[in-house]
Each structure stands twice: as C-alpha cells, then as structure tokens.
Structure 1
Amino acid sequence: MQHKEEILNQLHAICAKDEQATRCHHNYFTQEVNEDCRRKMVEWSFTVVDSFNLSRESVWRAIDILDRFLSSGKGSSVKARENKQSFQLASTVCLYMAVKVHEDVEMTIGFLVKLCRSYYTASEFISMEHDILFALRWSICQTTPLDFARQCLLLQLDCFDPETIDCILENTQKQMDLATSDVYFASYKQSSVGIACLGAALVESDVNSAEQEEFWSQLSSMLNFDFASKEVREVERHMLSGSTICKPKRQSQLVLSKTTSQKSCNEQTSPVSILSCV
C-alpha cells in the first residue's frame, strides 16, 4: 500500500499539471460536425472498449485528446471540424492512441483498418496520428477525473470499509462515463470533474452526510485544496442538472492499481463498425 506522503505528492502533482494543462473550448462545433457527432463517437468508443474488455477510462482519455486537438486549430483539425469522415478518423485515432499508451494490449494500425472495415487506409491512420501528436506537442498523457478520485480514496482508506470503497469507485466511474459524453466538462480541470464525480458517487453509495462531511474536511486539510471552489460548484451544478447522457452499458471492473496482464485485440474479429456512427 502506498504511503500517505507519496499519495499526497501524487495529488499535488495532478493539481499542478491541471493548472498548466491546455483546456479545450466547447464551442468548436460546426454545422457539419456538431455535438451529436461527438456523442455518437463516444458511444461507439464505449462499444469498442466493452467488446474487448478494456478500461472505460480510456474513452475519457481518447475524447480529451480529441477535444484538445479539435480546439487547437492546427493541422487537419480544421478539416476534422468541417468533414464528418475526417472527424470519424480523428476520433478513432484518438481512441487508438489512448489504448496504446494506457492499456496492456497490443493494438496495431492493421487492427484499426479491420475495425473500420477498410473504410480508412493505414496511411490515413498514421498521418492523422502524426497530425494530432504535433498539434498537441505530444501532450497526450493527461490525468483523468478518476485518477484524482482514486488517489483521494487511497489517501482516506481508513474512512470507509473496503466494500464501500469499491462501491464508491464503481459509482465514480459511472459518473465519469456520463460526463464523457458531455463536452461541457472538457473545458474544466480534471480534478474539478473528479471532485464532482466523487461527490455524486458518495451519495449514490449511501455514505451518510456526517461521513461525507468528515471525508471532505480531512481531505481539504491534508491537501490545502478548496473543494467548494467556484469551478467545482459549476461542474457539480451541471452534473446535477441531468444534462449528462450516454449511460454505461456495463459496470467496469475497477482496481486501485493497473494490472499487468497482457491481452491482444488483434486476434479477435471486430464486433463493431464505425461507418454508421456519424
């Protein structure tokens, strides 16, 4: 088990990275590529990761890369905002990049070609990946709201029993799944979204008010962090408004640390197709 000082250092590092991160603006849509197109690609991405038993957290990572790329105004991002086929290509490559970096799987360009049933060529995938990397200056390894929530819970393991912690983590993941489909959250810090998801998860996990208050009080004291900041409140209000969509199709298997088992996507036949998504 990690030492509390190490966890605190990780949380401070997440917050520092959050302050420096480039946020996307959620008004990058056009008449051709709108918010519904983005939502459909999120749903498709969840279908892919569920089909191959990958982490749903990879979808958040993928969409974060996509939003920042489309907001950058660099390279082919302009075309991707104006053309649905280019938007689909960029979305698929972002998922590929997220899985390649963060999952213990082997996913190849050849697999992407099969996944999309040869609608795009290998050279198109490679070209788009290079374009995204250069547009974002290779900054694709961002933290997620679940990263922040997970570390907060690790820091406060003595507050809840193991079963309750598992339940809170599962419900935090569900909240993040819902938030992934709503571009509103893309312009906020990962930590702010993580706090809002964790707060909703505590309620859903039937943690009583006194325990919640004690949890946040201790966490705030240890981190010297304002958990009731204006930004956090804005995220919470939007989350409570019910505007988030795309309910998860299954409950993810969650662990506090990443497994090291090796899996392969390439030996399976793709059960999904991208062609009818947008």
Structure 2
Amino acid sequence: MQPTDILSRDTVAVADTLAAMIKREQLTTSSWHWHDDGYLDPSDPTIITADDRKKLVDWCYHFVDHCQLSRVTVASAMEMVDRFLSITSTSISNSADADATTVRTVSDEALRDQSKFQLLTVTALYVAIKVNERVALSSDLFAEMCSQVYTTEEIEDMERVLLSGLSWRCHAPTAHQVGLSILSLILPYVDIPEASWGFLMDEMKYLIELAVLDYYFSTQRTSTVALAAIYNATGDMRSKEHRERLRAFLSVIMECFDFDHSKQVSEVRRKLQSLLLQDDDVDERSLDEGSVDLDDSVKTCRVSNRLF
C-alpha cells in the first residue's frame, strides 16, 4: 500500500467536503460563544490547568495505543471536552436538548474539580470511540479497562450530560481530517515520490497529535492547526524543489477557501515549532506507539488522587 492511497482522487468531492468542514467549524465556534483565550484562566488558582489537560490527553493516547485504536479518536474526544467546557450561559439556554442547570453545574464542577474533569475526559474518549471506531466498547468493559477508577454508572451519567450539553453534535472534523483533505487537493498537481508523500503525511500527523496535547491549540480553528502542521512538515523535507511546489499549492488553496488570515496561520506555525522543540527531552518522540502498560499509564496521569 502506498502512502497516498489514503488520499482521495475526487478533487471536486474533496473541495466540497473541505468547504463544508470549514463552514462547520466557523458555525460551531460562533454558536458556542467560545472565548478567544479559551476556558482556562491561569490567574485563577481554583480551576484546572493546561498541565492537567495535557496529562489526560497523554493518558488517552496510551489508552488508544493499548487498544490499537486511532489517535485521531483522542483529538475527537478532546474537541468535545474543550467545547463542553467552553459553553456559556447563552449557548446553554439556546440548547433545547439540554438540561441547562445540570449542564452548567457539571461544566463548572469539571473546571474546578480535577476528578470531575477527569471523568468528563474519560467519558468523552468513550463517546469518541463509539463514534469514530469500527469496534465499540461497552461501558462495563470501558470502566474495567480504566481500572474501575469510575463506575459504569458514573460514565453513563456523564455521557448523557456531555451529549446534552453539546446538543448531540459529536462529529466535529479533526485537524488530521482537514489536513488529509488539503493534501488530497494538492496530490494531482505535485509530482513528488511516494516516499516524500509518506514523510509529509507522517510529519503532519505527528505535529497534529502533538498539538492536541497543548491547550493553546484548542483555542485555534481546526483548519488553522492543519495548515500549520502541513507548512511545518514541508519545511522538514530535504528537497527544496518539493518544498517550493507544495507551498505554492498550499498558498493557492488558502486563497480558495475561508481559512484564517495568513498571519494567524504563521503564529500557530511558530507555536507548533516551539512545542516541537520543547519535546526534545521525550524519548524518541513521545507519541511513538510503544508497549505501554495501561494500569501504569493510568497511575502516572496525576490529575486525580483516585488514580493512585
């Protein structure tokens, strides 16, 4: 199987899909009244921190690796967590499906109670697996695989609140999906070796996985993160000619769709590059799939005392 086999050759359909994904992310951002700086306030010592979030994302990666599931599922789960915690009173009151009082209470508790935040994240991963994977885990099995840190009932109760708060909108496009659409549009016009395509796609995937770990990128548009990852990935390609070809068509695509301003994409690119440099002390690129004991990975996720 060649690396580009996962890319679509139907550029018309891909263009329509990409336009729809971009429109959807814009509507989601505006309808849920997200704050520009996100839902975490570093000056407030009573709420969870970006480091708490990072530890749970890392645990989620260990979990899906252990189960041989896709890491894109973790991105989907964290998108739901971030969106749920970004809900404002206005968006809740406009949600006909939600018990506004319960949703608001749980959202506030999750921001200030590490155990509740952890339960929300674990539940979002459970939902994301059901939505995105071909195999579904029962709530009983999922609770067992989480070492019974939470009961089946706790997970199912949180699932109902989460889905109600999101008005059952749990299929938001991920940066990886947007990135593959962008590369599919470039594919017919850039003649480079399959090995180069494979490198580009692997680098893009790695950078996007790294971005999910960092809270800053949750405050950015998904398509912006995808563009930043592709641009940075092209910068690591050995061939100057290949870099120039790819970036030329990226510029064309940016003009054809309603992406963020190029200045914002550049800012996210700088943040992503900085994040990559900070990752130097992680052994052989921390997101490499490896042999990880699930129980140990749970215990090292230091968000709740219940994990020890």
TM-score category, normalised to shorter length? 0.7 to 0.9
Contact 2:231 2:247 (8 Å CA) reproduced: no
Task: Count how many residue pairs are aligned between Structure 1 and Structure 2.
Answer: 261
Instruction: Provide Cα deviations, 1:218-248, integer angstroms capped at 9, x if missing partner.
Output: 4345x24567523212212222333765754
Instruction: Provide Cα deviations, 1:27-55, integer angstroms capped at 9, x if missing partner.
Output: 42553521111110011001011111111
Q: CA RMSD in A?
A: 2.4
C-alpha distance in structure 2 between counterparts of 1:226 and 1:38, whole Å: 27
Contact 1:179 1:185 (8 Å CA) reproduced: yes
Instruction: Provide Cα deviations, 1:6-45, integer angstroms capped at 9, x if missing partner.
Output: 1111111111112111246534255352111111001100
C-alpha distance in structure 2 between counterparts of 1:35 and 1:90, whole Å: 15
Contact 2:62 2:297 (8 Å CA) reproduced: no
Q: Which residue of 1 aligns with 2:208?
A: 176
C-alpha distance in structure 1 between counterparts of 2:254 and 2:239, whole Å: 18
Give the SS at the match of 1:151.
Answer: helix
Q: In structure 2, which of residues 3, 7, 12 is the aligned counterpart of residue 5 of structure 1?
A: 12
Q: Which residue of 1 aligns with 2:128?
A: 98
Moved more, 211-220 or 193-202: 211-220
Contact 1:114 1:270 (8 Å CA) reproduced: no
Contact 2:139 2:152 (8 Å CA) reproduced: yes
Q: Which residue of 1 aligns with 2:52?
A: 37
C-alpha distance in structure 2 between counterparts of 1:226 and 1:10, whole Å: 14
Structure 1 gaps, min length 5: 253-268
Q: In structure 1, which of residues 6, 9, 15 is the aligned counterpart of residue 22 of structure 2?
A: 15
Q: In structure 2, which of residues 38, 46, 58 is the aligned counterpart of residue 26 of structure 1?
A: 38
Q: Which residue of 2 aligns with 1:83?
A: 113
Shift of 1:152: 1.1
C-alpha distance in structure 1 between counterparts of 2:138 and 2:239, whole Å: 43
Is the aligned partner of 1:63 residue 2:87? no
Structure 2 gaps, min length 5: 1-7, 89-103, 304-308
TM-score with structure 2 length normalisation? 0.77
Q: Which residue of 1 aligns with 2:287?
A: 249
Shift of 1:93: 0.5
Shift of 1:150: 0.4
Is the aligned partner of 1:150 residue 2:180? yes
C-alpha distance in structure 2 between counterparts of 1:195 and 1:10, whole Å: 16
Give the SS at the match of 2:173.
Answer: coil
- Residues 226 and 138 of structure 1, relative CA distance in 2, 3 Å threshold: closer
- Residues 189 and 95 of structure 1, relative CA distance in 2, 3 Å threshold: same
Query: Which of the pair is proportionally richer in helix?
Result: 2
Contact 1:70 1:81 (8 Å CA) reproduced: yes
Shift of 1:173: 0.7
Q: Which residue of 2 aligns with 1:260?
A: none
Is the aligned partner of 1:236 residue 2:269? yes
C-alpha distance in structure 2 between counterparts of 1:207 and 1:5, whole Å: 29
- Residues 28 and 210 of structure 1, relative CA distance in 2, 3 Å threshold: closer
Contact 1:28 1:70 (8 Å CA) reproduced: no
C-alpha distance in structure 1 between counterparts of 2:135 and 2:295, whole Å: 17
TM-score with structure 1 length normalisation? 0.84
Q: In structure 2, which of residues 62, 70, 77 is the aligned counterpart of residue 47 of structure 1?
A: 62
Is the aligned partner of 1:196 residue 2:228? yes
Contact 1:116 1:275 (8 Å CA) reproduced: no
Give the SS at the match of 1:106.
Answer: coil
